[in-house]
Structure 1
Amino acid sequence: MTDTATTDTAATDTAATDHAADRPSAADAYLVPGTDRLAADFYGFQDELTPVEREASLRLRDFMEREVRPIATDYWDRAEFPSQIIPGLADLGMFGAMWPETQRFENSAVWRGWAALELGRVDPSTATFVGVQSGLAMSSIAIGGSPEQRAQWLPPMGRGELIGAFGLTEPLSGSDSSKGLRTTAERHGDTWVLNGAKRWIGNATFADVVVIWARDVAEGQVKGFLVRRGTPGFTTTKIERKQALRIVQNADITLDGVRVDEADRLPNIHSFREVALVLRLTRAEVAWQAVGVQVGAYEAAVRYAGERQQFGRPIASFQLVQDRLASCLGNITASIALCLQVSRMQDQGRQGDEHAALAKGYATTRMRETVAWCRELLGGNGIVLDHGVAKFFADAEAVYSFEGTRDMNNLIVGRAITGVSAFV
C-alpha cells in the first residue's frame, strides 16, 4: 500500500524482542510445540505475514488471551459489552488499519484477515465489534466522505475515542437492501430529513455516530448520512434475548423526522454501488472471522478430547473422535487457503464482489459444520458455556447470516458464473 504511515523497523524489532520475552503461556496449548504458530494452522499459512505483521498478530493474540478470554464468557452470558477492552484494541491498531489517517503500520489485506481470525478464535463478538467499527463505519466514511469528514471522524475513531455504527439493514429489508431500502431522505435547503427504521445495527446503543443509508426521495438513489448520538428524532432500542453474539449491542433504530445538515452527508456516495464497495471490503474479513470461529471451537474440542476420560482412557484415543477432529482441521485449512487468496486479490486490486462472496459463503458453511462436529464431540457438555464450544456454536449462526447469507452470496457467484442474474 502507498501513502501510509509506517513504523520504524528497528524500533519495532526491538519492541518485538522485548515483548516476546514476557509473552504469557495462556495459548501454549494451542501452539505447535516450540513455535508461535497455531496448531490449527496446519499448513503454516501464518508465514505469509511480513515480520512486522507477524509481530502485530502475536501482540493481538496476547491481548485476546490476557484481556478478553478470561471475561468473554461472563459478558456473553450477561449480554453486556466490555468497554474496557476498547483502548487496548485501539492501541493494537485494530480500528482503521487500512486508511492513512489511522494506520499504525503498513499492512496488507492478508494481515487484516489474519487479525480477524485471531479475534474470532477467542471471541466472535469482539471480532464483530471491530468489524463494525473499523470495517463498516470507518470504511463508509473513508470511501464516501470528504477530506474534511475523514479528518474529523477517522482519527478519533481510530483511537477508539468515538464509536461508530453502520445502519443499513431494516425491519423489512435485509438481503434486498439495494432495491428495498425504505428509509427516506428528503432535502430542505441545507438540511436533510430522514424517516424510517433500522434493525440489527451493531454498536448502535452506544455509538457516537451512525452511518445511516437512506433513499433520496427526489432522485431515488441511496445516500449516506452521519447521524450523531442525541440527534432529535433518532432513538435506539437494544435487541434483547439474542442467542448469538450476545456481547454485541445490536439495536433497533427509529428515525422520526431526523434533521441532518448537508455537511454530514457523505458526498462521494451516489448510489448503492458505493455501499456495495464497503461490503466487499468487509465481507472477506467476515470470512476470516468465520475461520477464527472454527479454530476456536476446534481448539476447545482438542483440549476436551485430551482431558475427557471414557472407558478408562482419554476420548482422544478413539478412532471416531480423531476422525471428527481431522475433518474439522480439513475445513479450517481449506477455509484459510480460500480466504488467503481472496485477501491477496484485494491487495492486488483484483478482488470482485463474486470473490468476496464465494469466500464468505464457503467459510461460513464450513464453520457451521465444524462447530457442530465440535459440539457433538463434547456430548452433553457441548451445550454448557464452561467447556468453550457452546459459545462458538451459538455465535456461528449469526456470523453465518450477516454480510450476506450463504444463499445470497451464492447468487452473486452464480451471476459471475453464468452472466445471468437470478435475483428477484
Structure 2
Amino acid sequence: MTRSAAPTPSSFYPADQYGFSLELSAAELTVLGKLRVVLDEDVAPLLSDYWEQGQFPYQIVDTLIGLSLMNPPEFEGSPASDLYAGFRNFELARTDASIATFYNAQSGLFRTTVMRGGTDEQVARYDEAIQSFAFTGVFALTEPDHGSDIAGGLATTATRDGDTWTINGAKRWIGGAFSANVLAVFARDTADGQVKAFLVPTDAQGVALTKIERKTSLRIMQNADITLSEVKVHESDRLGRINSFADVAGLLRVMRSDVAWIATGLQCGAYEAALRYVREREQFGKPLASFQLVQEKLATMLGNLTASLGMVVQLTKRQSTGHYADENSALAKMFVCTRMRETVALAREVVGGNGIILDTDVARFHADAEAVYSYEGTHEINALIVARAATGIGAFR
C-alpha cells in the first residue's frame, strides 16, 4: 500500500497559531507525520461506523504498534521527550478521543503506574515490553460507588497471607481492559488500611469483565465493569513503590497532563472539522465561512485551542524539569476541558443540523468531549485542588 507523503514541519498544524509545535525536533515531527498518515488513511475512514456500532476497530492496533511511538527508531536510542509525548496524544485525539484514550491507557496510565510505582527490578522487567505492547495493561482505580471520593472511599480490599494476596472488590469504567494482559488494581490493605497496587492477570481465576453498554460518549472505547472475587496475586506482582493513596496521587499528578493534551487535541479536531464544513457548505449563495457570526465563532474556537496549547506545553516543560504540582496539572485539566466544551459546542453550532450526524465528524467530537470533561478528575474536584493551593484551605468533604 502506497502511503501519502507526511506533512512538512511548516504545515504540520495549521491551527497551531503561535507555533508551539515548532519546538519539536525534526525527528519528532517525522514520527508524528507518519502517525498522521496512518490516522488519516487507516483509522479515520473507520470511525463513524465503529462509533455508531459501539465497537473498537482492533484491526488498527497492530498498525499503531508498528510505528513504535513510545520508542521510535528515528530517535536513535534517545528517550522520547515529554513534549513529543504530549503532541502524540494531541495527534491521536485530533483524529479521535477513543483512539487517544486507548493508546494512552498503555503509554500513559499503565506505563506511568509501572515506571513510578514499580521497584527498579519491576521497571527493568516490564518497561521494554510495555513500550512494544508485548505486555499490556490498564489502570483500574475507579469503582462503581467511588470516583471523586476514591481517596477515602476505595473499597476493594487486599489481604496478605505469606507471599499471597487475596483481592476482593469491583472496578468500573476501565477502558481497554478487554485487550489487556493485566489490570493495575488498586486495593486497600486490610492490615494497615493503606492503598496498594497489584498487577492482576485479566484471565486470573475470580476476575470477571463486563462491557459497559448504552454509552453516549467514547462509544468506540470499550469500558469494563470488573469484579474481583477471591483473586490470588503473588507478592512479586505488587508494585513496590505504591504504599498509600499519597503514592497514587503522585501518579494522578502526572496523568492529568495527558488528559489535558487529549482535550486539546480533541479541540483541534473539532475546529478543523467545522472549518472544513463551513468552507464547503453554501447558504444564501455563498460559503458559510463568509458570514460574520460564523467567523466570530471560528475565532473563538481558535482562541480556545491556542490558549489550551499554550497551557499544556508550558505545563509539560515544567514537568520535564521535575516540577510536579497537583495544582498545576489540575488547573490544566480544569481549564482546557472547559475550553474544550465550548469549542465543540461552537463547532456543532456552525455546522447546523449536520452537526448531529457522524458524517461531518463534529458530532463525534461533540459527544466524546463529555467523557473527557469528566475522567481523570471532574471539573469540580480539580477546581478544589487548585483553590486549596491558592488559599491554603482544603474544601473537600
Question: What range is the shorter-chain TM-score in?
Answer: over 0.9
1:207 and 2:180 aligned:
yes
Aligned match of 2:344 in 340, 355, 371?
Answer: 371
What is the CA-CA distance between 1:103 and the residue it aligns to? 10
Residues in 2 aligned to 1:263 and 1:248: alpha-carbon distance in whole angstroms? 31
3-state SS, counterpart of residue 198 of structure 1: strand
What is the CA-CA distance between 1:213 and the residue it aligns to? 0.0
The ranges of structure 1 where at least 4 consecutive aligned residues each deviate by more than 3 angstroms after the TM superposition are: 93-97, 102-105
Deviations for 1:380-421, whole angstroms, at most 9, x for unmatched residues?
100000111000000000000000011111111101101111
What is the CA-CA distance between 1:109 and the residue it aligns to? 1.5
Aligned match of 2:19 in 32, 35, 44?
Answer: 44
| Contact 1:300/1:389 (<8 A) preserved | yes
- Structure-2 residue corresponding to 1:156: 129
CA gap of 1:210–1:414, structure 2 versus 1, over 3 A, is: same
- Structure-2 residue corresponding to 1:12: none
1:317 and 2:297 aligned:
no
CA gap of 1:332–1:398, structure 2 versus 1, over 3 A, is: same
| Contact 1:182/1:215 (<8 A) preserved | yes
Aligned match of 2:307 in 313, 323, 334?
Answer: 334
What is the CA-CA distance between 1:169 and the residue it aligns to? 0.1
What is the CA-CA distance between 1:237 and the residue it aligns to? 0.4
1:60 and 2:40 aligned:
no
402-411 vs 78-87, greater mean Cα deviation: 78-87
3-state SS, counterpart of residue 178 of structure 2: coil
What is the CA-CA distance between 1:146 and the residue it aligns to? 2.6
Residues in 1 aligned to 2:154 and 2:20: alpha-carbon distance in whole angstroms? 40
1:196 and 2:169 aligned:
yes
**Runs of 5+ in structure 1 lacking a partner?**
1-21
Residues in 1 aligned to 2:384 and 2:351: alpha-carbon distance in whole angstroms? 35
Aligned match of 1:390 in 335, 344, 363?
Answer: 363
Residues in 1 aligned to 2:61 and 2:31: alpha-carbon distance in whole angstroms? 17
3-state SS, counterpart of residue 251 of structure 1: strand
What is the CA-CA distance between 1:96 and the residue it aligns to? 7.4
Residues in 2 aligned to 1:116 and 1:417: alpha-carbon distance in whole angstroms? 29
- Structure-2 residue corresponding to 1:276: 249
TM-score of the superposed pair, with normalisation by structure 1: 0.89
What is the CA-CA distance between 1:161 and the residue it aligns to? 2.6
| Contact 1:233/1:258 (<8 A) preserved | yes
3-state SS, counterpart of residue 242 of structure 2: coil
Deviations for 1:100-143, whole angstroms, at most 9, x for unmatched residues?
xx996433221111111101000110100111111111211111
What is the CA-CA distance between 1:276 and the residue it aligns to? 1.4
What is the CA-CA distance between 1:153 and the residue it aligns to? 2.8
Aligned match of 1:139 in 112, 122, 134?
Answer: 112
269-278 vs 316-325, greater mean Cα deviation: 269-278
- Structure-2 residue corresponding to 1:94: 69
- Structure-2 residue corresponding to 1:356: 329
Q: Look up the equivalent residue of 1:196 and give its one-letter code.
A: G
Residues in 1 aligned to 2:113 and 2:18: alpha-carbon distance in whole angstroms? 35
| Contact 1:335/1:366 (<8 A) preserved | yes
TM-score of the superposed pair, with normalisation by structure 2: 0.95
1:416 and 2:389 aligned:
yes
- Structure-2 residue corresponding to 1:6: none
What is the CA-CA distance between 1:90 and the residue it aligns to? 2.5
3-state SS, counterpart of residue 385 of structure 2: helix
CA gap of 1:110–1:245, structure 2 versus 1, over 3 A, is: same
3-state SS, counterpart of residue 166 of structure 2: strand
What is the CA-CA distance between 1:35 and the residue it aligns to? 3.5
Aligned match of 2:318 in 331, 334, 345?
Answer: 345
Aligned match of 1:247 in 190, 208, 220?
Answer: 220
153-162 vs 392-401, greater mean Cα deviation: 153-162
1:305 and 2:257 aligned:
no
What is the CA-CA distance between 1:350 and the residue it aligns to? 1.4
331-340 vs 344-353, greater mean Cα deviation: 344-353
Q: Between the two proteins, what is the percent identity of the paired residues? A: 51
Residues in 1 aligned to 2:58 and 2:24: alpha-carbon distance in whole angstroms? 30
Residues in 2 aligned to 1:67 and 1:198: alpha-carbon distance in whole angstroms? 33
3-state SS, counterpart of residue 80 of structure 2: coil
Q: Look up the equivalent residue of 1:42 and give its one-letter code.
A: Q
Residues in 2 aligned to 1:237 and 1:420: alpha-carbon distance in whole angstroms? 41
Q: Look up the equivalent residue of 1:277 and give its one-letter code.
A: G
1:220 and 2:193 aligned:
yes
1:81 and 2:56 aligned:
yes
What is the CA-CA distance between 1:45 and the residue it aligns to? 1.1
3-state SS, counterpart of residue 212 of structure 1: strand
Root mean square deviation, CA, Å: 1.9
User: How many residues are aligned here?
Assistant: 394
Residues in 1 aligned to 2:19 and 2:110: alpha-carbon distance in whole angstroms? 32
- Structure-2 residue corresponding to 1:10: none
Residues in 2 aligned to 1:164 and 1:67: alpha-carbon distance in whole angstroms? 24
What is the CA-CA distance between 1:282 and the residue it aligns to? 1.5
| Contact 2:70/2:80 (<8 A) preserved | no
3-state SS, counterpart of residue 127 of structure 1: helix
**Runs of 5+ in structure 2 lacking a partner?**
none
Residues in 2 aligned to 1:262 and 1:68: alpha-carbon distance in whole angstroms? 40
| Contact 1:87/1:159 (<8 A) preserved | no
Aligned match of 2:262 in 289, 307, 322?
Answer: 289
3-state SS, counterpart of residue 240 of structure 2: coil
Residues in 1 aligned to 2:33 and 2:84: alpha-carbon distance in whole angstroms? 11
- Structure-2 residue corresponding to 1:260: 233
